[in-house]
Structure 1
Amino acid sequence: MGKTISMCGNRCDLCLLYKGNVGRTSLKNINRGFSMYHGFTVKSNDIGCAGCKVQGKQCREDCPIRKCCASRKYDSCAYCPELFCDLLKSDIQAVQNALNGAYNISREDYDAFFKPYEVVKNLNNIKKDIGR
């Protein structure tokens, strides 16, 4: 499976909630990591997200970033002249705060619960690819 990057820069293909990763790990392990590092849990019906660029199940139905990109007809925030606006900064900060509080995190946990959400890195790579 190739990279699937959301409008905000999340790597859907690495996210445990993404439809392509269903069954990769147990709901118990997903909730262990999300609870420990991000302060929330998910229900089984939250798993199986199609990603925000296609029709189907969404993990964050009310995502303001998705709504903003869609209203401006951008494929992702990387196309926006206001990249790293307040909407995006709040998501980036939430992940950074979780990472700052995660001591002695295992490589496995980093890959599962942080790597999918390296938004700044992913959006900067897209910007570079599109020549912005």
Structure 2
Amino acid sequence: MKPILTRCGYRCDLCLAYKANVENNPSNQQKLSDGWYKYFGFRLPPEKIICDGCMSNNPKLIDQACLVKHFLIICANAKPVFHPFCISNDKQQAQH
């Protein structure tokens, strides 16, 4: 899989919850559920662990409270004014 870099710099292609990774290997969902329980003390049902990536249209996300996405909306609406939080990467956006 080609690298998929979000505006915040996160690499979706490396995330076990990313939709394409779940489709290629459904056991990723159980691995994440078990790992999050072991290290963080909470369990998310494996079938709920799937993420389209925040740059998708109408995405299904693991983290509904992502603050980065809030700032990205500000950036998108502020153009052509550049906001220091924003990263411009039109080539990457074209891949989504």
Report the TM-score range of the alignment, normalised by the length of the smaller protein: 0.5 to 0.7
Unaligned runs of 5+ in 2: 90-96
Alpha-carbon distance between aligned partners in 1 of 2:63 and 2:11, rounded to the nearest angstrom: 14
The one-letter amino acid paired with 1:71 is: I
Q: Would you say the 8 A contact 2:6–2:54 is kept in 1? A: yes
The residue number in structure 2 matching 1:49 is: 51
2:63 to 51, 60, 63: 60
**Partner SS, residue 22 of structure 1:** helix
How many residue pairs get aligned? The number is 81
**Range that drifts further, 43-52 or 21-30:** 21-30
Share of identical aligned residues, percent? 30
Q: TM-score, normalised by structure 2?
A: 0.63
The residue number in structure 2 matching 1:17 is: 17
Poorly superposed stretches of 4+, deviation over 4 Å = none
Cα RMSD after superposing both structures: 2.8
Going by fraction, where is helix more abundant, 1 or 2? 1
Unaligned runs of 5+ in 1: 84-122, 127-132
Q: Would you say the 8 A contact 1:7–1:69 is kept in 2? A: yes
Q: TM-score, normalised by structure 1?
A: 0.49
Q: CA deviation at 1:53?
A: 0.6
Alpha-carbon distance between aligned partners in 1 of 2:44 and 2:83, rounded to the nearest angstrom: 31
**Partner SS, residue 72 of structure 2:** helix
Where do 1:28-47 residues align within 5 Å?
Answer: 28-47=30-49
Q: Would you say the 8 A contact 1:20–1:48 is kept in 2? A: no
Q: CA deviation at 1:19?
A: 0.3
